[in-house]
A and B are shown apart, each in its own frame.
Chain A
Amino acid sequence: MNRRLPRTNDAGASPGVWRLAWQRLRRDRVGMASLYVVVAFLLLIAASHFGLIAADWQQEKGVSFANPSFLPHLENREAQQSLQLQTAQAQSDPSHLAQFRAVDPLAATYDQVQQRALSYQIKEPARAMTLPFGGDKWGRSVLAKMIKGAEISIAVGLLAALIATMLGTLFGALAGYLGRWVNDLLEWFYNVFTSIPYLLLIFAIIAVVKANPALQSQGLLTIVLVLGLTGWTGVYRLVRAEYMKHTHREYVRAADAIGASVWRRMFVHILPNISHIILVQLSLLVVGFIKAEVILSFLGFGVPVDMVSWGTMLDEAQNELVIGKWWQLVGAGLLTMAVFVTAFSLLTDALRDALDPKLK
C-alpha cells in the first residue's frame, strides 16, 4: 500500500507516507485546531510533571470552598463555619472540664497530651477568601488540582494505551505472519479475553489486586497495567488482519529472498507499512482509557488516595454539588476533561483521514 519507494536523486522522488499525511492534516482546519489544543495540554502536563506549575496543589491556600475569584460575593457558609471553628479551637479553654478531674482516670494523660500539644507551634497560614477557580473542601485550589489531575489522567491514558498497543501489535504480528498453531493459540486467547465483558474483566483483576498485599502498593502502575494488559484485543484484531494481507506481498517475499530473518521481515519490513493504522488505534485507546481511568478512580479503584485525577475530583464533586459548589464538577468534568477528550477525538479522526485517505 504505502511501500516506501527507493530514494533516487532525480526530482521525481515521491514524498513519504508521513509527509503526505502531514500535508493532508495541515489542510484540515479542525484537525489542526485540535492538534494545537492537544499539544497545549501536553505542554501543560509536562510543566506540571517537572514541578513548574501546580506543584503546590496539596497546600491548603484558601478557606473551605473558597469562592472563585470571578464570583467573590457568593455566600460561603462553610468557610465561615470553618473559620469560627478555628477561632473556637484557639480560644478553647479546658477549665470547664476541671470539675471532672477528680473522677477522670485519664486526667493525667490528658495533661501530658496538652503539654505536648502546646510545645508544637502550629502555624496556620493566612487563608484566602477566593481562589482563581475556587477551592475544595480543604481549601486547596481547584485550578491547581485541574492541572495536576490532567497530568495523572492523561499520563495513565497514554501509558496504558502504549502498553496495550505494543501487546496487540506483537500478538497480531505473530498470529498474522506465522499463522498455523501460533495463530490458533492467539485466536483462542483473543476469544477468551473478548468473551468476558471488558469492565467485568477489569473489575475481576482489581478485586484480585486489592486482596493481594504484594500487588496493592504499586500506586499508579497498578491501574496502568490493568488497563494496558486487558485493552490489547482491538489492536490485535486489526494488526493480525493487516499482517495476513501483507505476508504474501512482493516486498516481503523479496526481503525473504535476500535472507532477512523472520523478525526482520515482521518488524522492519511490514511494521512501518501498517504503522499508520496502529497510530490511529493508539489514539482511540488513549481516549477510551482516560474515560475508564476516570470511572475507576471515581469508584475508588483507580489512582492512589494521595494523588488527584479527574476521577477523584468528580468523586468529590458529587457531594459538593448538593451544597451548591459547582466549580470542581465544571473544572474537572467540562473545562479540562471534555475539552481534552474532544480535541483528542477530533485529532484522531483527522489523523485517520490524513493517514488513510482511501477510507471514508
Chain B
Amino acid sequence: MGAYLIRRLWQMIPTMLGVILLVFFLFTQFGGDPAQVLAGKITDQAQIDNIRKELGVDQPVYVQLWIFVKQVFTFDFGRSWVTKEEVSHIFKQRAGPSLTVMTPILLIELLLGVALAMWVAYRRGTVSDRAVMIICILAMSVSFLVYIIAGQYLFGFVLGWFPVQGWSDNLWRNLTYFAPLPILLAVLVGLGPTIRLYRSVFLDELGHDYVRTARAKGLSERAVMFKHVLRNALIPIITNLAMALPGLVLGAFLIEIFFSIPGLGREVKIAVDRSDFPVIKAITVYLAFATMVFNLIADLLYRWADPRVELR
C-alpha cells in the first residue's frame, strides 16, 4: 500500500509538470503582451515598460517559466490584475460558496440516481423502465440553460417559492434559503445522464451468475439487490464520483452565474471576461492537481470496494 502510494505520487510528477508547461506556454505564447492587457488605454511607453518589468515579461522565457513554477509551489500567484486582490485570498473566499451548493447537489444526485437506476434496472423492460428512460433521454436533450431560465422564472419569479438569486454570509441561511433552488435545478439536470449510466451498470451486474446463485440460495430480493448487486456495482459508481469531484471545487459555474453565488466558477467567468490571467492560471493549475488527487483516491477506494482489486 505504502509503496503503491509512493509510486503513484511519483508518476504524477510528469503530468504535473505537463500541466504547468501547458498553462505557461498557452498564456505566454498566445496570450499577447500582458502589459497591453493590463495597461489598457495607457499609451505611455515608460509606464508600459514598468508594468512589463514588474511582471517579469522582459526576462527570457526560462526565467519566466521559473517564476511561474515558483508561484505554483509557493501558492503565491500574486494579485489579481484587475481587483488587486490576492489570488490566494480569492481561493479562500470563493471556495466556501461553491462547496455549499455543490456538496448537496452531489450527494442528492448520487442517492437518487443510484436508487432510481436500481429500481428501473430491476424492473427492466416494464412500462416504468421504458417511461423513465424516455424521460431521461428527453430531459438530457434540453439545454441546461433552458432549465435554469425556466426554473428561475417559474419557481422564483412567478410562484415566489424561492428567492430568484442572492447570497449571504450565513451558512445556514444560504443552505436553507438561497441554495435550494439552484440545488433542485442542478439535480433535475444531472439526474438524466446519471440514471442512464447507473442503469447500464446495474443491468450488467444483474446478468452475472452470482445473482442467479444468490437467488437459488433463497436470498430475498432485497438482499440480492443491496448486498450483492450494489456492492459489485460500486466500482463504476466510484469512478463516476471521482470524475464529478473536481466539479465540487469549481462549482457548477452556470448555476453560480445565474444565481449570483460568489463561488469559484463565477470567479473564472469573471476572470475570463476581464482577461485576469493570474486568477485563471491559478485555478487551472490547482484544479488539475486536485483532479489527479481525486483519481488517486478513487483508485484507493476500488480496493476498499472490491478486495480482489490489486493495487500495483
What does the 1/0 interface line of B154-165 toward A look like (CB < 8 Å)?
000100000000
Q: Given known contacts A203-B280, A212-B31, is B141 in contact with A338 (CB within 8 Å)?
A: yes
Q: Given known contacts A196-B288, A211-B277, is B31 in contact with A346 (CB within 8 Å)?
A: no
Q: Do A209 and B30 touch (CB < 8 A)?
A: yes
Number of interface residues of B (CB under 8 A): 48
Q: Do A342 and B137 touch (CB < 8 A)?
A: yes
Query: How many angstroms between the C-alpha atoms of A295 and B34 in the bound complex?
Result: 27
Whether B144 is near chain A, meaning CB under 8 Å from some CB there, is yes
Query: How many angstroms between the C-alpha atoms of A204 and B34 in the bound complex?
Result: 15
Expressed in whole angstroms, the minimum distance between the Cβ of B200 and any Cβ of chain A is: 9
The B-contacting residues of A in range 296-332, CB under 8 angstroms, are 298-301, 310-311, 314, 317-318, 321-322, 329
Query: How many angstroms between the C-alpha atoms of A197 and B246 in the bound complex?
Result: 7
Query: How many angstroms between the C-alpha atoms of A258 and B292 in the bound complex?
Result: 45
Q: Do A322 and B18 touch (CB < 8 A)?
A: no
The B interface, classified by DSSP as helix, strand, loop or mixed, is helix
What does the 1/0 interface line of B255-292 toward A look like (CB < 8 Å)?
00100000000001101110101001101100111011
Q: Do B283 and A200 touch (CB < 8 A)?
A: yes
Whether A266 is near chain B, meaning CB under 8 Å from some CB there, is no
Contacts of A357 in B (CB 8 A): none
Query: How many angstroms between the C-alpha atoms of A221 and B153 in the bound complex?
Result: 34
Q: Do A213 and B32 touch (CB < 8 A)?
A: yes
Q: Do B287 and A196 touch (CB < 8 A)?
A: yes
Query: How many angstroms between the C-alpha atoms of A263 and B268 in the bound complex?
Result: 43
The A interface, classified by DSSP as helix, strand, loop or mixed, is helix
Query: How many angstroms between the C-alpha atoms of A207 and B288 in the bound complex?
Result: 17
Query: How many angstroms between the C-alpha atoms of A317 and B145 in the bound complex?
Result: 10
Expressed in whole angstroms, the minimum distance between the Cβ of B261 and any Cβ of chain A is: 16
Expressed in whole angstroms, the minimum distance between the Cβ of B43 and any Cβ of chain A is: 15
Query: How many angstroms between the C-alpha atoms of A197 and B283 in the bound complex?
Result: 10
Candidates A200, A213, A334, A346; contact of B142 at CB < 8 Å: A334
Q: Given known contacts A189-B18, A191-B18, A301-B272, is B143 in contact with A208 (CB within 8 Å)?
A: no
Query: How many angstroms between the C-alpha atoms of A339 and B19 in the bound complex?
Result: 39
Q: Do B32 and A195 touch (CB < 8 A)?
A: no
Candidates B34, B137, B289; contact of A345 at CB < 8 Å: B137
What does the 1/0 interface line of B26-69 toward A look like (CB < 8 Å)?
11001110100100000000000000000000000000000000
Q: Do B287 and A188 touch (CB < 8 A)?
A: no
Please give 15 more A-B residue pairs, beta carbons under 8 A apart, in addition to A204-B280, A208-B31, A337-B142: A197-B288, A200-B250, A208-B26, A208-B30, A211-B37, A214-B32, A291-B144, A294-B143, A314-B145, A318-B149, A321-B149, A329-B150, A338-B142, A342-B138, A345-B140
A-B contact pairs, 20 of them (CB 8 A): A188-B14, A196-B287, A196-B288, A197-B291, A203-B280, A208-B31, A209-B30, A210-B275, A211-B31, A211-B32, A295-B145, A300-B273, A310-B143, A314-B145, A314-B146, A321-B149, A322-B157, A333-B142, A334-B142, A345-B137
